[in-house]
Structure 1
C-alpha cells in the first residue's frame, strides 16, 4: 500500500500540489491558470479523448459492469441534487455541478494515469473502459446540460450551434463514429494526438491547483457533506450494484477503485467556464483529492 502510494499515486497528485503552492506564493496568477485550464480543456483534452475512443475495442467491455456503475452514478447524482437544492439551498446550477462532483470521478486525468503506472497499459483495461464511458457519455451529458441550463434565455438554434463547435464534443463524436465504422486513425495522426494529449493531465491538474489556492480550505457543512457523499456513498452504491450478476473479479475491483477516486476537475472547469460560484466545488475537489490518497492506495 505504502509503495503504491509513494511510487504511483503521489507523483501524479504532486503536480496539483505544485500548482497550489505556486498559486499561494503568487508565482502564477489565477488569470494565467484560467487561461491554461481553458487551453487544456478545449485543445489538449480532445487530443487525449479522440485516440482513446477511436482505438478502444468495445467488444472487450463487460457492459453490465459499466451499466451497473452508471446506475450507481444516477442514484447518487439524484440524491445529491435533492440534498443540495432542498437541504443546502443551493442555486440550481451550483447544485447541478456539486451533484456532478460526487459522481464524475477524475478518472481521465488522475485514476487512469495512476492505474497505468500500477498495472501497465494492458492490465488496467477496466479503468480504460470506465474512462471511455465517463469521458464520452457522462462528460458529454454534463457539458450539454450545463450549457443549456446556463443559457436558458438563448434560442435552441444558438445553443445547438454553440455546442456543435465545442472541441470536446467534436472529439467524442468523431472518436465514437470512426470506431464504430472501423476507421482507425493513421500513425502520424496518433503521434500528434499523443504528443498533445500527454500535456492535458499535468496542465489541467497544475492549473486546478493554482486556481484552488485562492479558496479557503476550511471545510464547512456543505463541503463536508458533498465530500462524504463522493468518498463514501458513491463507492458503497457501486459496491452494492456490482453484486448483481457475475464477471471477472478484476472488473469489480477496478470499477470500485475508480469509484473511490476524487471528484473530477471538470465540475470545477465547467463552473469556471459558466461563472458559477466555486466556493464549495473547489474545496470539495481539494479534500476528496487528499482524502482519497490512502483509500486508492489500499484498493489498488
Structure 2
C-alpha cells in the first residue's frame, strides 16, 4: 500500500499540489492558470480523447459492469442534485455541477495515469472502460446540458452552433466515428496526438491546483455532504451493486477503485467556463483529491 501511494499515486497528485502551492505563494496567478485550463480543455484534451476512443476494443469490456456503474451514476446524481437544490437551496447550474462532482470521477486525468503506473498498459481494461464511458457519454452529456443551462447574452451563438464547434465534443465524435468505421489513424497523426495528449493531465491538474488555491477550504455542511457522497456513498453503492451483478475478480476490483477516485476536474472546469459559482465546487475537488489518497492506495 505504501509503495503504491509513494510511487504511483503521489507523483500524479503532485501536479495538483504543486499548482496549489505556487498559487498560494503568488508565483502563478489565477488569470494565468485560467488560460492554461482553457488551452488544456480546447487543445490538449481533444488530442488525448480522440485516439483513446478511436482505438478502443469494445469487445474486451464487460457490458454488465459498465451498465451497473452507469446505473449507480444516475441514482447518485439524482439524489445529490435534489440534496443541493432542496436542502441547500443552490442555483440550478451549480447544483447540477455539484451533483456531477459526486458521480464524475477524475478518470481520464487522474485514475487513468495512476492505473497505468500500477498495472501497466493492457492490464487496466476496467479503468479504460470507465474512461471511455465517461469521455464518450457522461462528459458529452454534461457539456451539452451545462451549455444549455448556462445563461447567455442575446448576441451569443445558438446552442447547436456552440456545441457543433466544441473541440472536446468534436474529438469524442471523431474518435467514435473512426472506431465504428474500423479506420486507423495514420502514424504521424497518432504521434502528434500522443505528444500533445501527454500534456493534458499534468497541465490541467496544475492549472486546477492554482485556481483552487484562491478558494477557502473551510468545510461547510454543503461541502462536507457532497464530499462524503463522493468519497463514501458512491464507491460503496458501486461496490455493492457490482457484488450483486458481476463475478468477483478484476472488474469488481478496478471499477470500485475507479469509483473511489476524487471528483472530476471537469466539473470545476465547466463551472469556470460557464460562469457558475465555484466556492463550493472548488473545495470539494481539493478535499476529495486529498482524502482519496489513502483509500486509493488501499484499494489498489
TM-score, normalisation: structure 2: 0.98
For 1:107-154, what per-residue CA distance to the aligned partner results, in whole angstroms no more than 9, with x for missing partners? 000000001000001111110111010011000000000000114787
Partner of 1:102: 102
Instruction: State the shift of 1:11 in Å.
Output: 0.5
Partner of 1:19: 19
Instruction: State the shift of 1:155 in Å.
Output: 10
Partner of 2:111: 111
Partner of 1:276: 276
- For 2:118 and 2:253, the matched residues in 1 are separated by 14
The answer to whether the 8 A contact 2:101-2:281 is kept is yes
Instruction: State the shift of 1:246 in Å.
Output: 3.3
- For 1:78 and 1:273, the matched residues in 2 are separated by 23
- For 1:147 and 1:214, the matched residues in 2 are separated by 25
Q: Which runs of 5+ in 2 are unaligned?
A: none
Partner of 1:41: 41
Which structure 2 residues correspond to residues 241-256 of structure 1 after superposition, within 5 A? 241-247=241-247, 249-256=249-256
The answer to whether the 8 A contact 1:16-1:205 is kept is yes
- For 1:246 and 1:86, the matched residues in 2 are separated by 35
Matched, 1:81 2:70: no
Q: Which runs of 5+ in 1 are unaligned?
A: none
The answer to whether the 8 A contact 1:53-1:175 is kept is yes
The answer to whether the 8 A contact 2:246-2:252 is kept is no
TM-score, normalisation: structure 1: 0.98
The answer to whether the 8 A contact 2:68-2:245 is kept is no
Partner of 2:228: 228
The answer to whether the 8 A contact 1:262-1:289 is kept is yes
The answer to whether the 8 A contact 1:18-1:206 is kept is yes
SS at structure 2 position matched to 1:38: helix
Q: Which runs of 4+ in 1 moved over 2 A?
A: 151-157, 243-248
Partner of 1:52: 52
SS at structure 2 position matched to 1:76: helix
- For 1:21 and 1:278, the matched residues in 2 are separated by 19
How many residues were matched structurally? 300
Matched, 1:177 2:177: yes
Distance change in 2, residues 1:210/1:156 (3 Å): closer
For 1:162-188, what per-residue CA distance to the aligned partner results, in whole angstroms no more than 9, with x for missing partners? 100000000000101110110111111
Partner of 1:211: 211
The answer to whether the 8 A contact 1:151-1:159 is kept is no
Instruction: State the shift of 1:63 in Å.
Output: 1.0
Single out whichever of 126-135 and 151-160 deviates more from structure 2.
Answer: 151-160
- For 2:135 and 2:99, the matched residues in 1 are separated by 17
The answer to whether the 8 A contact 1:73-1:103 is kept is yes
- For 1:24 and 1:193, the matched residues in 2 are separated by 33
- For 1:247 and 1:132, the matched residues in 2 are separated by 22
The answer to whether the 8 A contact 2:235-2:259 is kept is yes
